[in-house]
Amino acid sequence: MASSSRLGPVCGRSYPHAPNLLRNRNPDLPLTSFDSRVGALAQIGAEHYFITTNVNYIPALPSIEKPHKLYLRSDMRYGTDDPMLWPQQYTPKYCHMAVIPSKGARPDLDVMWWNPSVQEDFIVGSAVTRGLGRLPRPRFSAFLPAVNDLVRRCTELKRTSPQLVIPLFGHLIQYILMWVEQLETLPTTFPKMVFAVTSLQRAVLELEALYQYMTVCKPRMDNYLAFSGGAEIAQCVGAFTSSVMHAQQLSAAGIPFWLIVISEPRGLGYGPTERSDTFQSGAEGRTERNQRPGSDDEDRRAG
């Protein structure tokens, strides 16, 4: 769903204090949790906000209004509200969702962003089941290596480090196996087949994120002093947050984050130690994260 937020130009009548935002610029020094590789100014409703990040881009904000309408698109995805496609607002209850791999970061997972075509990827059955069909066997088989490897790693983790395996591991594995069974055996209409494909993709990506979070990111967050200087940035979708403490944790874990802080009437409320090295200006920001090219993309753009 399109957001009411927009990224604004850093220099202009709306932001008279913008030139001061680079006053501590020093790209030769390593970043801390409170520094920013690139910053941007955004308007959300009537308020102006400053966005900082530990990566070199700022995606357009998804809708952060609560509640707001959620739409299932024709491709059976949720546009900018889909955590597999776009950074979402960080929440501790679903902290692993920020670790969903970025599209293209893992060649072994490329199939998890594949979109079926009715012309090429739907085999219609006999006259008895007119209008019903299945995914072609080669397409179905393309999912199995990633699924089998992920289930194997999770099973091994339960054997070697059971303290890391929370109940959600088992729930997601069950969902994955059920979607695999449906795609392999159950004739459906094309829209229902696409829904099964995207549901399988969503479950696999979430389980992969949960595995990476529990084995790599959470230990860093739990040992903040050792990683307070920031870890190497992972190639994952990341998260928006308005909490400085969450930004510190995400920085320590090496997860991309975008910290949203309200700007004050006579300045931006930042002390002398905060730093931003560059600015991203313009209304669009970086609008493509994990989404595919195609006609549905315009519906997903926030700006």
| CB half-sphere exposure, 220, CA atoms < 13 A | 22
Band (26; pLDDT cuts 50, 70, 90): low
Please confirm whether the linkage preceding 67 is cis (ω < 30° from 0).
yes
N-to-C CA span, the chain: 10
Q: Which two tokens stand for residue 223?
A: 């040992």
Q: Which two tokens stand for residue 164?
A: 């890391």
Closest CA to 49 of 302, 259, 281: 259
Q: What are phi and psi of 275, to 5 degrees?
A: -145, 140
Q: What tens digit of pLDDT does each residue of 57-113 get?
A: 888 887 766 677 888 998 999 988 999 999 999 999 999 999 999 999 999 999 999
Residue 213 has pLDDT above 70, yes or no: yes
Q: Which two tokens stand for residue 272?
A: 């002398």
How far is Cα of residue 107 from the mean position of the Cα atoms in its chain? 17
pTM for the model? 0.81
Query: What is the C-alpha separation between 63 and 5, in angstroms, rounded?
Result: 7
Closest CA to 80 of 236, 227, 228, 298: 298
User: Is the CB of residue 53 less than 8 Å from the CB of residue 256?
Assistant: yes
DSSP assignment of 202-231, as one string? HHHHHHHHHHHIIIIIHHHHHTHHHHTT-P
Give kind and range of the element (H or E) at residue 183.
helix 167-185
Percentage above 90 pLDDT, the chain: 50
More confident residue, 56 or 165: 165
